[in-house]
Structure 1
Amino acid sequence: MGSASSMLTQYDIEEVKEYCDNLFSQQEIVALYERFCQLDRSAKGFISADEFLSVPEFSLNPLSQRLLRMVDGLNFKDFVAFLSAFSAKASAQQKIELIFKVYDSDRNGKVSFKDMLEVLKDLSGPFMSDEQREQVLIQVLEEAGYSKDSYLTLEDFYKVLGGSDLKMDVEVPVD
């Protein structure tokens, strides 16, 4: 696809659509490309962490530091693939896989009590003490049939979140 400043061809659009399981329309991919080019201020073909932080909604997200580890250095194709989990057409499985990746920051394929505590700390900020977070998490884990010593896998996330109505949809504005 060349540099970010080049034009998006029909071939590129079709390639990205296929890469992202056709979760975005041609119009949406073009709109995402325009947004990608705006974020890629130095036109190097990928978006840096600093460029992502220029998006107010992203920088204000309590999980932004965790998300940054996932998105830093994405090229356009991978940028769209990342966003595809937020498509209204994305399956619950795709959404759960993204949630798992947020928790599994060391990418070892399992989520520990410590990993969950870190996410809870990011989400609750100064409004809960470390002790309160631990108590809440222990109770939630026990109610789900796990203990503090459990390691959750992606399969566990499917089991726990699979029946949920996950609302993680972002609309892509098209002209």
Structure 2
Amino acid sequence: MGNASSTLTQYDIEEVQEHCNNLFSQQEIVSLYQRFCQLDRNAKGFISADEFLSVPEFAMNPLSQRLLKMVDGLNFKEFVAFLSAFSAKASMPQKIERRCYK
């Protein structure tokens, strides 16, 4: 899972699910992994600030510079944990914990 060009194993999926308090289904994690790999253009295993800024919606966000401080250099597991704060299934304490993750 460290290399973005590798594929997720069942173990990887379950590990990410557990890390994120089961807020995402296995299919959602696979979809997030595919998106992560698209963003990680150099297959470094993490997403740089420049790669995040390549997403027009992110780059146009007036809070993008603040968000970059939180997301720059996230690996896949951290990426999913960060996104879990936006899940409707997450409790308020979980959202706060994830927001302060990095």
TM-score by length of 1: 0.55
In structure 2, the partner of 1:87 is 87
In structure 1, the partner of 2:51 is 51
**Gapped regions of structure 2 (runs ≥ 5):** none
In the alignment, does 2:62 pair up with 1:62? yes
In structure 1, the partner of 2:27 is 27
RMSD: 1.4
Secondary structure of 2:70's match? Answer: helix
Higher relative contact order (CA 8 A, sep 6+): 2
Rg larger in 1 or in 2?
Answer: 1
CA distance in 1, matches of 2:48, 2:19: 22
TM-score by length of 2: 0.92
CA drift of 1:94 comes to 2.6
CA distance in 2, matches of 1:29, 1:54: 22
CA distance in 2, matches of 1:39, 1:21: 24
Residues 2 and 75 in structure 2, CA contact (< 8 A), matched pair in contact too: no
Matched to 1:10, the amino acid is: Q
CA distance in 2, matches of 1:77, 1:4: 11
CA drift of 1:62 comes to 1.1
Matched to 1:56, the amino acid is: P
- Identity across matched positions, percent: 83
In structure 1, the partner of 2:6 is 6
CA drift of 1:2 comes to 3.0
CA distance in 2, matches of 1:60, 1:4: 26
Task: State the aligned residue count.
Answer: 100
